Amino acid sequence: MKILFFSDIHGITDNLNFIKELDEKEKFDKIVVLGDLYYAGPTYDNFKQTKSMEVKDFLTDYQERLICMQGNCDSAVDIKASDFPICSTLSLICVDGLDIYLTHGNEYSMEKDRKFGRKGILIYGHEHYPFIKKKNDMTFINVGSISLPKKDSEASFCIYENRTFTIYGISGSEIEKVLL
């Protein structure tokens, strides 16, 4: 199973063609978007143009392989207008014997540690900078942001294959990797 994870599009289409080309090359089984699909919000300083309908159309093209989480900036209107399901708060997928919890990161994260009662992986975005950290029996993976990276990071995404999670920058650089 090969899975692509990315987050925090915020209505910005700049790197979506990169995602399309990456999918054509890698042929992902699933594409997971970890929230904040369309909305930029009042704190966004408009240095990039938002095109929410183009984001919606892009994601709709992948709806048969798409798992989408609701972010803190995704409104009920956004969800209703989307042509694919958007899961709220927390989801669980089991792949290769691994429990992979999916969330946006505003309610569940390493800093907002909630006991899951078993070991697993929590993968999320929200903070807009990538990292992989272990704490107790959990592995926390933040995929960063595909559109609005922070803390001097570049736009990033994560690929899962063969029990390995690798975070990449869109330049092709490997940022972090963990084998579980």
Q: State residue 37's pLDDT score.
A: 96
What domains does the chain contain, in order, with CATH numbers? 2-179 (3.60.21.10)
Q: State residue 46's pLDDT score.
A: 72
Whether the pTM exceeds 0.75: the reply is: yes
**pLDDT one digit per residue (tens) for the chain, 180 residues:** 999 999 999 999 999 999 999 999 999 999 999 999 997 666 667 778 889 999 999 999 999 999 999 999 999 998 899 999 999 999 999 999 999 999 999 999 998 867 666 789 999 999 999 999 998 889 999 999 999 999 999 999 999 999 999 999 999 999 999 999
Q: State residue 48's pLDDT score.
A: 84
User: For the range 165-173, what are the long-range contacts, defined as Cβ-Cβ under 8 Å and sequence gap of 24 or more?
Assistant: 165/121, 165/123, 165/132, 165/139, 165/141, 167/130, 167/131, 167/132, 167/141, 167/143, 170/15, 170/18, 170/146
CA dihedral of residues 135, 34, 72, 87 (deg, nearest 10): -110
